[in-house]
Amino acid sequence: MSMAPQTAQPPVPAGRVGTTEPAAPITAEAEASARRARKKNRLVALAFLAPFLAAFLLFVVWPMIHGFYLSFTNQSLTGSGGSLVGFDNYAEAFSDPKMWGSIRNTVWFTLISTVPLVIIAMAMALLVNTGLPGQWLWRLSFFMPFLLASTVISQIWSWIFNPEIGLANEVLGAVGIGPIAWLQTPHLDLISITIATVWWTVGFNFLLYLAALQNIPEVQYEAAAVDGASRWRQIWSITIPQLMPVTGVVFVLQILASLKLFDQAYQMLGGISSDTSRPIVQYIFEAGFVGYEFGYAAAISYVFFALILVVGIVQMTIVNRRKGQ
């Protein structure tokens, strides 16, 4: 890309190019003016960047640095402590069964939520993309839950999963199953949360797939139809392969989103913390704002960040290798 002012004002580049010419005064003058232009460019760029950069430094960069520092102190929320304790917090975290339990719960939730969230979304998009009448209604049905706040969906699903009078048990009771204590049974609680989460957020992935489907050129279907391919055949050998790159992206996004589980788990369980359901973000919250141990909470935050980084790097390596092939 060339600099806009130079293309607009031919004399300046002419002067700069002519450094070998004996006309030294012109060159010097041109260079001075180019320097002035560069300086002005820098100031203009700074002016455009300043508001975002200020916010970026204050609310992302500084907290990252300070959080890392805090993780090496015994800082408390009440203001006491604050002296450096070396790696004590990390040593404590790595020998803390609650920390390991919260990582296990988080990874388990990510495993059981990601697969349905990708496959159901793809199925929905493929069905909607057949052009069946009622497009508006399909999109509303599948995407609407995504627009609801975590509080709203938690209240609705806590009500559905209510062990005595909830809809889930009423329906299952009619066919002789239950009653099941969905949110009060260890291990089952995280599965119930997964069900609610799939209902809540699948619409986002559905829209990503729908956008991808609509980008597949019609020409390809036309060519396949001319060759006598059936519709099933077209879906199988044109649509699905074309969706593979998108599926990679959706998987990456979904895994990173699932690892951040907190809102709905915390609220559906009514803030009650159990070793079989507590996700790691909830453990950060509890250590910091219930236990007041800011230093320790900061250390767990960085353990969580390391987890995200490792998962992210692994995913990127896989995606790039695929691209390379």
Amino acid at 51: P
Query: Taking the CA of residue 231 as centre, how many other CA atoms within 13 Å lie in the half-sphere pointing to its CB?
Result: 4
The phi and psi torsions of 209 (rounded to 5 degrees) equal -65, -40
Are the beta carbons of 307 and 259 closer than 8 angstroms?
Answer: yes
Smaller CB separation from other proteins, 45 or 84: 45
The site map against other proteins for 2-41 (x = CB under 8 A) is: -xxx-xx--------------------------------x
Smaller CB separation from other proteins, 190 or 284: 284
Binding residue (CB under 8 A) for other proteins from 58, 111, 310, 318: 58
Query: Taking the CA of residue 276 as centre, how many other CA atoms within 13 Å lie in the half-sphere pointing to its CB?
Result: 11
Task: Name the token pair of 43.
Answer: 């100031």
Strand partners, 293: 76
**Closest approach of other proteins to the CB of residue 112, in Å:** 19
**Closest approach of other proteins to the CB of residue 135, in Å:** 10
Q: Which residues contact 190 (CB under 8 A, 6 or more apart)?
A: 105, 108, 109, 112, 265, 276, 277
Amino acid at 244: M
Smaller CB separation from other proteins, 3 or 28: 3
Does 304 interact with other proteins (rule: CB under 8 A)? yes
Are the beta carbons of 263 and 83 closer than 8 angstroms?
Answer: no
Give the whole-angstrom CA distance, residue 293 versus residue 285: 10
The site map against other proteins for 183-222 (x = CB under 8 A) is: ----------------x----x--xx-xx------x--xx
Binding residue (CB under 8 A) for other proteins from 62, 87, 94, 236: 62
**Closest approach of other proteins to the CB of residue 263, in Å:** 4
Give the whole-angstrom CA distance, residue 162 versus residue 169: 8
Contact segment (CB under 8 A) with other proteins among 10-18, 100-108, 110-118, 259-267 equals 259-267
Binding residue (CB under 8 A) for other proteins from 14, 17, 46, 310: 46
The phi and psi torsions of 76 (rounded to 5 degrees) equal -115, 155
Task: Name the token pair of 60.
Answer: 């992302």
Binding residue (CB under 8 A) for other proteins from 86, 130, 227, 244: 130
The phi and psi torsions of 84 (rounded to 5 degrees) equal -70, 135
Dihedral over Cα of 27, 30, 36, 42: its sign: negative
Does 227 interact with other proteins (rule: CB under 8 A)? no
Are the beta carbons of 121 and 209 closer than 8 angstroms?
Answer: yes
Smaller CB separation from other proteins, 26 or 242: 242
**Closest approach of other proteins to the CB of residue 239, in Å:** 9
Smaller CB separation from other proteins, 94 or 305: 305
**Closest approach of other proteins to the CB of residue 23, in Å:** 27
Identify residues 137-166 at the interface with other proteins (CB under 8 A). 137-145, 147-152, 154-157, 159-160, 162, 164-166
Give the whole-angstrom CA distance, residue 161 versus residue 268: 9
Contact segment (CB under 8 A) with other proteins among 21-29, 91-99, 104-112, 228-236 equals 228-236
Give the whole-angstrom CA distance, residue 251 versus residue 309: 16
Does 170 interact with other proteins (rule: CB under 8 A)? yes
Does 74 interact with other proteins (rule: CB under 8 A)? no
Identify residues 83-122 at the interface with other proteins (CB under 8 A). none
**Closest approach of other proteins to the CB of residue 42, in Å:** 5
